[in-house]
Amino acid sequence: MDMVFSSLLFLFRFLPIVLILYFLFPKKARNAVLFFSSLVFYAWGEPVYISLMLFSTIVDYIHGRMVESYKRRGEEKKAKLVVLSSVIINLSLLCTFKYLKIFPLPIGISFYTFQTMSYTIDVYRGDAKVQKNLLSFGAYVAMFPQLIAGPIVQYKTIAQQLEKRKETVEDFSLGIRYFIIGLGKKVLYANNIGLLWEEISQKTAGEIPVVMAWIGIIAYALQIYFDFSGYSDMAVGLGKMFGFHFSMNFNYPYRSKSITEFWRRWHISLGTWFKEYVYIPLGGNRKGLLKQIRNIAIVWLLTGVWHGASLNFLLWGIFYGILLIIEKMFLLKWLEKAPNWIGHFYASLMILCGWVLFAFEDMQKGWQYFKILFLGNFSGFINQETIYLFLNYSVLLILACLASVGFFQEKNFLFEKLPFSKKKKNISKETLIGKMGRGILQNIGYIGILLGAVAYLVDSSYNPFLYFRF
């Protein structure tokens, strides 16, 4: 069984032990502690694939050293060939395990291969200095907080943190809060909503009326958001506990008024990676509209393929590529002038359509689901089971919808916006008392979320992780 953040094994055994060891060792040895503990984390469920990660780590470490050496000697062509070699090796690993499907898919391979490629490219571009310490580089590649689901961390963003980082009580406290919020998203929202989607998606097309189909795909949209963003929040929180500062991977994407905006808010690290290492090198938006359209099409074909080898992922990428091209050509300007509700409705509808493509690897079932959504079937518009499911899950769905657009943070309901602002000087006693009271309420809220999540994990065996397959 693989170790995941939302497991009792991780929460009460692995993480406490690693934290104790990490802070017991001197600063110079902490990267080594992080590296070896990450290998244990990775090998827990799939020990055979530890050799694959070590291979990737050593190969790209050597490639980085070679690039730096050739650049220093002015041998540009040789440096380029080494970068090309790194890209080919990493993509070959990814294709062999992810697309040929000869072997089971190793967890996190889509993420750490992209990270190691970015390292070699960053060194070649001069955006980052070469890492000469193999253990420090290994800590970057294998770092368990963001290994299995990202965010994708570019080497240049944490190069300095690998060598000089300062662990503080404030960061550790903030990290715990991020982690608890992420755990709550995953366990209390995603897992419970996932039960609704699982029940609906396993039915035959003839058993699903129109309203049930819409409830189902909304449930899936909420499940995948809270599942993935929850893991990303936990990763950011864990990073802070160890002194690292990872970028946030989600920014309330369901608030978007266009698909362009949606992809600036969803899986931000993946979008940034493709922008910096594919879109801009192809010319970005600098060489006219036609080439810009070409570049968008290439990026989204690759984005679809990155998610999996099935035809539905390719079509999903093409679907979003077409929408983004249409928005780039004319639709975005029109949406900016239109009332906000039109943009929200359009974006929400397209996003839900995208999730239908994404959810069904069996294209026949996906097409049948589309037909029910927009054309209906002989099951009719609504039935008694639909009403039962809605009433049973209505409170959860409403709370999840509100949380997914940041309603509770906007209303300052228990939680301030993270990261927390520093205390102002010269505040009055009354203000201080008010802040202390709010702080107590917030801490009670965090403790409640943690206890609720743990209780769920103790009592339930349903704890899927959707992004394992990517």
Structural domain count of the chain? 2
**Beta-carbon neighbour count of residue 144 at 10 Å?**
26
Q: Are residues 159 and 281 in the same domain?
A: no
User: What is the distance between the alpha carbons of residues 468 and 149, in angstroms, rounded to a whole number?
Assistant: 8
Q: Are residues 255 and 378 in the same domain?
A: yes
Please confirm whether the linkage preceding 419 is cis (ω < 30° from 0): yes
User: What is the distance between the alpha carbons of residues 201 and 361, in angstroms, rounded to a whole number?
Assistant: 12
Q: Are residues 116 and 73 in the same domain?
A: yes
Task: Answer yes or no: is 469 within a domain.
Answer: no
Q: Are residues 29 and 65 in the same domain?
A: yes
Q: Are residues 13 and 88 in the same domain?
A: yes
Tens-place pLDDT, residues 8-56: 899 999 999 999 999 999 999 999 999 999 989 888 877 777 888 888 8
Q: Quote the pLDDT of residue 239.
A: 93
- Which two three-digit tokens encode residue 220? 């899936």
Closest listed residue to residue 86, CA positions, set 109, 111, 103, 66: 66
Q: Are residues 309 and 325 in the same domain?
A: yes
Q: Are residues 151 and 243 in the same domain?
A: no
Task: Answer yes or no: is 59 within a domain.
Answer: yes
Query: Among residues 135, 165, 195, which one ends one of the domains?
Result: 165
Catalytic residue among 63, 267, 307, 344: 307
Q: pTM of the entire structure?
A: 0.89
Query: Residue 113: which H helix or E strand, with range?
Result: helix 109-125
- Which two three-digit tokens encode residue 281? 């090198």
With tokens 């980052």, the residue in question is 128
Query: Among residues 358, 389, 420, which one ends one of the domains?
Result: 389
Tens-place pLDDT, residues 161-201: 888 888 999 999 999 999 999 999 999 999 999 999 999 99
Query: Among residues 117, 145, 165, which one ends one of the domains?
Result: 165
Q: Is residue 147 scored above 80 in pLDDT?
A: no
Q: Are residues 188 and 127 in the same domain?
A: no
User: What is the distance between the alpha carbons of residues 92 and 295, in angstroms, rounded to a whole number?
Assistant: 23
Q: Are residues 24 and 148 in the same domain?
A: yes
Task: Answer yes or no: is 448 within a domain.
Answer: no
Task: Answer yes or no: is 417 within a domain.
Answer: no
Q: Are residues 305 and 217 in the same domain?
A: yes
Check: CB of residue 7 under 8 Å from CB of residue 68.
no
Q: Quote the pLDDT of residue 36.
A: 93
Q: Are residues 227 and 367 in the same domain?
A: yes
Check: CB of residue 412 under 8 Å from CB of residue 437.
no
Tens-place pLDDT, residues 196-245: 999 999 998 888 999 999 999 999 999 999 999 999 999 999 999 999 99
Closest listed residue to residue 137, CA positions, set 109, 168, 158, 167: 158
Looking at the chain, the whole-number percentage of residues with pLDDT higher than 90 is: 55
Query: Would you call 307 a catalytic residue per the annotation?
Result: yes
Q: Which domain holds residue 262?
A: 171-389
Measured CA distances, 209 to 158, 163, 216, 219, 352 (Å): 50, 58, 11, 15, 17
Closest listed residue to residue 136, CA positions, set 244, 49, 232, 47: 244
C-alpha dihedral over 184, 188, 194, 200, to 10 degrees? -150
Q: How far is CA 150 from the centre of its chain?
A: 5
Task: Answer yes or no: is 395 within a domain.
Answer: no
Kindly tell me the burial class for residue 147, based on how many C-beta atoms sit within 10 Å of its own C-beta (0-12, 13-18, 19 or more): buried
Q: Are residues 146 and 201 in the same domain?
A: no
Task: Answer yes or no: is 35 within a domain.
Answer: yes
Task: Answer yes or no: is 91 within a domain.
Answer: yes
Task: Answer yes or no: is 455 within a domain.
Answer: no
